[in-house]
Structure formats: structure tokens, C-alpha cells
Structure 1
Amino acid sequence: MQAFLALVDISDESALAWQERALCAQTDPEAFFPEKGGSTREAKRVCQSCEVRAECLEYALANDERFGIWGGLSERERRKLRRRAV
């Protein structure tokens, strides 16, 4: 995965085209950015059936997104994933 992350160029609009197909774009954004201690269940449920879940997660990892649910994972879960990849 690290090799791909190095190739992601966020200035390239075509690299972000997946966002137009993301189910979260059709859902209440507050579900993906819950208050501290709030439930992430609804957001993760949406992510489970999203066709661009992998692209979303790759984007979040490449851009060190610190908040919200991305690719079905919380910030804590993404941090654990990064540690395992090193």
C-alpha cells in the first residue's frame, strides 16, 4: 500500500474523481464527523456498501486525514493501519 500512497497526487483532479461516486456524498455529513465519543456506526454502515471505499481509505491515508470516517475506518483505526504498514 505504501507504494501506491507515494503516487497519489491530490492536485490531479482525476485522482479525486472517485468522490463523485461516494455514497457519503448522498448522506448527512455529520454521520462521518461525529462529536467526540459519538457513534460511528451509521457512517461505517454506509461505507460497507460504497463502491469507492478503497479509494477513500487510500486518500485518507495519503493525506493524513485526522478526523472523520474515511473508507470505513475511524482516525484511530487508520492510525493502527499505518503502524502495521511500517
Structure 2
Amino acid sequence: MIERFAPSGTLLAMLNDTITAPPHLTWQEEALCAQTGGDFFFPEPGSSVREAKRICGLCPIRSACLEFALSHDERFGVWGGLSEKERLALRRTAP
């Protein structure tokens, strides 16, 4: 399940003890990141996010992931193919 790959303090990590994800999180079960692990998506500061973005580019759930990250103000990691800085810039330009 996705939860085991989530860094502590994230929404997914808080669901670790949950047997089934709430219905509004089922898209995460289909995400490619769930099958690859969190290291690519939550790299050490200064590390490349190129591999995470490549995986996101192939993911059919990418738009739902980005929408979730923006609506929940996710500040860490790669979500929907965008880095932390890219999501911040997108939020700043949004009306």
C-alpha cells in the first residue's frame, strides 16, 4: 500500500493504521508512485527530482495528484509532476 512509502507527517503516513483508504483517496492506489516508493518523490534537499517527474509523466493519475497537492497545500515532494517550487509558483500565479 502507498502508506508504507509515505514520509512521516504526510497525509498518507497518518493513514498507516487504516485498513482501507477513504473513498476520496482511492486514486492514490492507482498512482505509479505507489508502486515505486517515496525516495524519488521526497528526495533529500538539493537532490534531483528528474526521475520522479519522469514517473509522473507516465502516470494516468497525474492530474488528480496535482489537484490534491494544490488543494491540500502540500509543501514537500513531487506531486502531479511538479516540484515544491513549481507548485508554489503555480499558486502565486493563480487568481
Q: TM-score range by the shorter chain?
A: 0.7 to 0.9
Within a 5 Å distance, the mapping from 1:21-40 to structure 2 comes to: 21-40=30-49
- Structure with higher RCO (Cα < 8 A, 6+ apart): 1
Can you give the 5+ residue segments of structure 2 that lack an aligned partner in the other structure?
1-20
Matches within 5 A, 1:65-84: 65-84=74-93
Task: Give the structure 2 partner of residue 62 of structure 1.
Answer: 71
Q: TM-score of the superposition, structure 1-length normalised?
A: 0.82
User: Could you say which structure has the higher helix fraction?
Assistant: 1
4+ residue segments displaced more than 6 Å: none
Residue 43 of structure 1 and its aligned partner are, at CA, apart by 0.4
The percent of aligned pairs where both chains have the same amino acid is: 61
Aligned-partner Cα distance in 1 for 2:75–2:91? 12
Per-residue CA shift, 1:5-55, capped at 9, x if unaligned?
Answer: xxxxxxx92221100100000103111011111000000000001000000
1:83 CA displacement: 1.1
Report SS of the residue matched to 1:32.
coil
Which of 52, 76, 79 is residue 61 of structure 2 equivalent to? 52
What letter matches 1:61 in structure 2? L
Residue 60 of structure 2 aligns to a residue whose secondary structure is coil
- 3-state DSSP of counterpart to 2:40: helix
- Number of aligned pairs? 75
